[in-house]
Homo-oligomer: A and B are copies of this chain.
Amino acid sequence: MVQLNDRVIEGVISVPLKVIEDDRGAVLHMLRADSQHFNGFGEVYFSQVNPGAVKGWKRHRLMTQRFAVPMGRIKIVIHDDREGSPTRGRTEEHILGRPDAYRLLIIPPMLWYGFQGLGKAPSVMTNCSDIPHDPGESDQMSLETETIPYAW
């Protein structure tokens, strides 16, 4: 599991997000237009992930994913098969969830990724992407592929 930026796949960014604790329920930052990690707004949407369920593999050709998990806990696996990438061939696990891993995970285009719900209740993945969803710019691959060396 990657907690720091020192060995992540080239272009992937994982940074801690601010949580403002409150007895009524915490306020959780995600992304501001004046953030260094902001490069345009395309869409914000949610993907519920039931316990144990896996969504993937998926690759976007144009869209940058900006993920945060405000509720629950999700494992994200990223695989780099980009020609010429200094981290080509690397496969990495990231965890997103409170309280210890409330983070913004940025996945640039052309990386394969999938994610799995952890814990006993459904989790909420939020994606604030830089372009709106367009089914024409993404690819999918079966979880059973032998191309990606990862066993869910």
Contacts and interface: CB of A to CB of B under 8 A. Distances in A.
Interface of A: 23-34, 41-50, 53-55, 70-71, 117, 122-124, 126, 128, 131-133
A71 to B, nearest CB: 5
B29 A49 contact: no
Is chain A's interface secondary structure helix, strand, loop, or mixed overall? strand
Contacts of A33: 41-43, 131-132
Contacts of A70: 46, 48, 124, 126
B47 A30 contact: no
13 contacts: A26-B48, A28-B45, A28-B47, A30-B43, A30-B44, A32-B42, A32-B43, A33-B41, A44-B128, A46-B70, A70-B126, A71-B71, A124-B124
A24 B49 CA distance: 6
A124 B71 contact: yes
Given A41-B41, A70-B46, A128-B44, A53 B24 contact: yes
